[in-house]
Structure 1
Amino acid sequence: MKTSMLFIVLLYEIVTICGVALWLKRGKSQSAHNDSEFALGGRSLPVGVVAATMALTVLGTAHILGVFEMVWGVGAAAIWFSIAHVILLVVVCYSTGLWVRRLRVTTVPELLEHLFGKGIRVLVSCVMAGIIFGILTIETQGLGIIINAMTGWGITNGAIAGGVIGIFYVVLAGMKEVGWINLINAVVMYVGLILATIFMALRLPGGNFDSVAEHFVSQDMDYMISVFGNSQILMTFTLGMVVAVLFSQSVNQMLLQTAMSAKDEKTIKKALWIAAPINGLFGVFAVVLGLTAMTIPEFAELGPKKAATQMLVEYLPPWLGALLLASFLAAILSTFAMTALSPATIFSNDIYKGLFKPDATEAQMTKVTQIAIVVLASIAIAVASFLPPILAAMTWLFAWLIPVFFIIIFGLFWQRSALAALITLVTVWAGNFLWSFSDIALNLGLLKSNAVMALTASVVVGCVANLMIKGEKAYFKSQTYLDLKETNY
């Protein structure tokens, strides 16, 4: 066990979490109470906090350990996971993020009630909360892998320890704490990552990464060091990944909750210029380190889940290894926090208040949200070690939210038909189920990509349903929106 490294990492996390929480508690006692303080940080987050939180919300286990793992199958093409998220951040900061902030909603399902009524809101609430919970279990697995690298406790016990820290992280002060800690973690992460990459290069023959490239070329695996891979990788992994990320995460509560928390729309637009580089450049470092681990026999034999993290623990100076693992743990904790807070917010706002207690006070809502965080995180800890490869699981989960993106676009700009929205959702979800658990794609000679299937079905079924079923005027053309716009400005 790397006792000193573990001590430094845990000390960093505890000091950061407790320090920011105490600072925010003091500030809260000196300011006016805000009805959305816990879940949305009082809708007051500044540019730096919004940017760091957007970047780190989608830069967790999938970007770090998922890319380390995925390079074993697709090589440098794993960078497309990061490229897809840069495109995603552009879409969020210049469209969906602005819309939810302008309409002052607390959850994405609340927006759907404005468009299609309570039935669609409840239906999507249940599915979206389940999807985000699925991502939460993957983030918990990531915490387990990082802690196992330092302790040798195994992923299961590491997930328990990491999950406890994660619950502590988000419950103390809610969205505002997560945001400000993310700002600190983003700086620490990049300092550690850049230094680690330099130190790793110096440990290799020639003091650079040329030996890594030569390893794959000598084995006739040139495609492993190409960002485009080969034709099969391009058509299956790359296309599916970009579609899944772009059309699902752009309407996912876990990312849009940050936009809802921003001070104003200008803050969201400005945040893009910080969030996109933070998120996108990380993939370059992760791919390089993942490929390097594959070329060193003592780490390659550990397999995709453990090779890169163990290499960093063994090859880096203890102080740098501790700094890097602390930053990795912090990035994963950030996504863990948002994937715990988001479904808990959906439950408290759309289920508890929406269906059972419409007159719930802010104090009651906060308590229900905190209880939901603890329950969801506890279940995630229990199942974390039984999960499939990280990016494969992420892509599958993302596909379920693709039809939600299209019904929102239809409702905002075309027309609002609850029946057409329901037909689109149910058809695509049924198709996703069949694509996952049957050989229908193989029998039809089609691409076995849930994301591409969901995209195609959402567009075709959504357009046909809206052409055949007459609905109300598009929300952005409605008097309700025009009145709201006049009030806001």
Structure 2
Amino acid sequence: MQIIHIIILVAYVALMIGVGLWFSRSKSVSSGEDFMLAGRSLPAPVLAGTLLATFVGSGSIIGAASFIHQYGPFAGMFFFAGTFAGIIVLFFLAKRVHQLSKYTIPQLLEIRFGKPVRIIATIIILVAFIGITAYQFTGAGYIISLITPLSPVKGTIVAAVLITFLALGGGLKSVAWTDFLSIFIVIVALIALAIYVFAVDLGGMATYVNGMEPAKLTLSGGLSPLQLLGYFLPLFLLILGDQNMYQRLAAGASATTARTATIFFFIGALVVITPIILLASGSSVLQPGIEPDMAILSLADPAFSPLALGGLLLTGAFALIVTTGSSYLLTCSGNIVHDLVAQIRRREVSERQALVIGRIGVLCVAVLAYVMVQFFPSVLALQMYAYTMYGVAITPALFAALFWKRATGFAVATAMIVGSAVTIIWEVQGRSEQVNAIVISLPITIAVLVLLSLVTGSRSRDSKAEPAQQSSPGR
């Protein structure tokens, strides 16, 4: 435990609480739209900052770092390639998403496929997003336990309370601006530490290359192409269909603002992910026997970095996790308001009711996320499960709604259920340790969606044509 680390962490938490309290005022958040979409007023820089901070959380600083520590920098590049490919696709979708301006993905799906699909999508999204929120709690708990005398369990509780507070008070306005401020801390911390580790601890690139295991210097890191694909696809599919991304693009001040923000998002991701890959792989040279989850966080130890820089790293990592966790809490509350409560009542809730129910939803999701933490052995395992569940069930349905006119509601609903079931069965049987579930469940989901759409779509067209054929002799 280092006093300087604690001071830096406390200063960051105080700043976040101050921002949260400022945007919690009734003047800033007075309606459901203010709470969920920041009044559709976010400028491009803030929008880009919150997009980046939302997607780069403990899944990157802990989960991805664990992967890179085990398999090397080139495999790490392939791991993150899905993120960049997804951002490029979002650039072309940004204007259309802003114009649709819906609160949730299930709302978009209902317009095309009907209410049953909306309900199924809501359940799947909540299961996946509660999982993503859960590993933010765990990751933040790790960091608190490194900085303070608290155990990881107690640290997780403290983190859960802070993350919940930021989402609970000012909604997306609070979350977006804390994201924007936090991402600067993250960028400074990661770049400064990467420079120090390579210049001082490793003494240059030669030590880095010569000290790494030969398998980690290969393009695959010793993994098969199928295994690599199992890590690429979850991030790619998640970012393409992530409700957080769509909500933030809808919250931009204009459609042009939304598209501009995706350009900044791409650049910011490159700036953040590059030092993550370098630090995690460098850590495998400096401390090959360490727990992989701690590949980057352990570099905050005074043996590897100055106290102030170590404190900045831990606080930056904590900032990433807090902002991501609050974002997913907030988006889950949107599903509860608009896709559960409104459907049960059979009418949309008022703006005032949306604000109250949204805040209650944040609390409920936070409790469920904390419970889910107990069932997964590592952040990486929970990360892959959550990404796969969402990417398999939601992203194909969303793209069918946007781009394939022949897709049918029955086919989409069936594909979502089948894809989710295959993912859960694969996880329960423990097979994801060899090959991630997405490699199996995604092809099955797409096949079911396409084949059933072709069959049910042709039947629908035949049934419409029959009456016309029967009436023709009387003409």
Matches within 5 A, 1:277-292: 277-292=267-282
Establish whether residue 155 from structure 1 lines up as the match of residue 143 from structure 2.
no
Q: Secondary structure at the match of 2:142?
A: helix
Deviation for aligned residue 1:148: 1.4
Matches within 5 A, 1:61-80: 61-76=58-73, 77-80=75-78
Q: Secondary structure at the match of 1:387?
A: coil
Residue in 2 aligned with 1:453? 440
Name the % identity. Answer: 20
- Picking from 166, 175, 179, the partner of 1:178 is 175
Establish whether residue 306 from structure 1 lines up as the match of residue 294 from structure 2.
yes
Alpha-carbon distance change, 431 to 181 in structure 1, aligned in 2, over 3 angstroms:
same
User: 1:371-408 CA distances to partner (integer Å, 9 max, x unpaired)?
Assistant: 22122223333453653332333222222232422223
Alpha-carbon distance change, 108 to 169 in structure 1, aligned in 2, over 3 angstroms:
same
Establish whether residue 223 from structure 1 lines up as the match of residue 215 from structure 2.
yes
- Picking from 106, 111, 114, the partner of 1:114 is 111
Deviation for aligned residue 1:24: 7.4
Establish whether residue 6 from structure 1 lines up as the match of residue 6 from structure 2.
yes
Deviation for aligned residue 1:18: 1.0
Deviation for aligned residue 1:340: 0.8
Establish whether residue 167 from structure 1 lines up as the match of residue 160 from structure 2.
no
User: 1:15-67 CA distances to partner (integer Å, 9 max, x unpaired)?
Assistant: 244136426749738xxx66500011011211111111111111000111112
Alpha-carbon distance change, 45 to 250 in structure 1, aligned in 2, over 3 angstroms:
same
* Paired letter, 2:216: M
Q: Contact between 1:21 and 1:173, CA under 8 Å: does it hold in 2?
A: yes
Q: Contact between 1:417 and 1:471, CA under 8 Å: does it hold in 2?
A: no
Residue in 1 aligned with 2:85? 87
Matches within 5 A, 1:59-458: 59-76=56-73, 77-95=75-93, 97-205=94-202, 207-216=203-212, 221-230=213-222, 232-236=223-227, 238-297=228-287, 300-314=288-302, 315-356=304-345, 358=347, 360-384=349-373, 387-401=376-390, 402-412=392-402, 413-438=404-429, 448-458=435-445
So what's the TM-score if we normalise by structure 2? Answer: 0.88
Equivalenced residue count is 456
Deviation for aligned residue 1:110: 0.6
5+ residue gaps, structure 2, are 461-475
Establish whether residue 54 from structure 1 lines up as the match of residue 55 from structure 2.
no
Alpha-carbon distance change, 273 to 293 in structure 1, aligned in 2, over 3 angstroms:
same
Alpha-carbon distance change, 7 to 385 in structure 1, aligned in 2, over 3 angstroms:
farther
Alpha-carbon distance change, 162 to 433 in structure 1, aligned in 2, over 3 angstroms:
closer
Q: Secondary structure at the match of 1:358?
A: coil
Deviation for aligned residue 1:454: 2.5
Whole-angstrom CA distance in 1 between matches of 2:66 and 2:19 = 34
Whole-angstrom CA distance in 2 between matches of 1:16 and 1:397 = 27
Alpha-carbon distance change, 186 to 439 in structure 1, aligned in 2, over 3 angstroms:
closer
Q: Contact between 2:69 and 2:283, CA under 8 Å: does it hold in 1?
A: no
Whole-angstrom CA distance in 2 between matches of 1:26 and 1:370 = 14
Q: 106-115 vs 288-297, which deviates more?
A: 288-297
User: 1:404-430 CA distances to partner (integer Å, 9 max, x unpaired)?
Assistant: 222233333323522121222222223
User: 1:71-130 CA distances to partner (integer Å, 9 max, x unpaired)?
Assistant: 2321211233322111111222322x4443222211001111101111110111011111
Q: Contact between 1:204 and 1:211, CA under 8 Å: does it hold in 2?
A: no
User: 1:192-228 CA distances to partner (integer Å, 9 max, x unpaired)?
Assistant: 21111122223325x3243232122xxxx32313454
Alpha-carbon distance change, 99 to 130 in structure 1, aligned in 2, over 3 angstroms:
farther
Q: Secondary structure at the match of 1:45?
A: coil
5+ residue gaps, structure 1, are 474-489
CA RMSD of aligned residues (A): 2.6
Alpha-carbon distance change, 418 to 138 in structure 1, aligned in 2, over 3 angstroms:
same
Q: Secondary structure at the match of 2:170?
A: coil
So what's the TM-score if we normalise by structure 1? Answer: 0.86
Residue in 1 aligned with 2:473? none
Q: 162-171 vs 375-384, which deviates more?
A: 375-384
* Paired letter, 1:420: A
Whole-angstrom CA distance in 1 between matches of 2:455 and 2:48 = 42
Residue in 2 aligned with 1:484? none
Q: Secondary structure at the match of 2:301?
A: helix
Q: Contact between 1:138 and 1:384, CA under 8 Å: does it hold in 2?
A: yes
User: 1:318-337 CA distances to partner (integer Å, 9 max, x unpaired)?
Assistant: 22222222221111111101
Residue in 1 aligned with 2:466? none
Alpha-carbon distance change, 466 to 143 in structure 1, aligned in 2, over 3 angstroms:
same
Q: Secondary structure at the match of 1:415?
A: coil
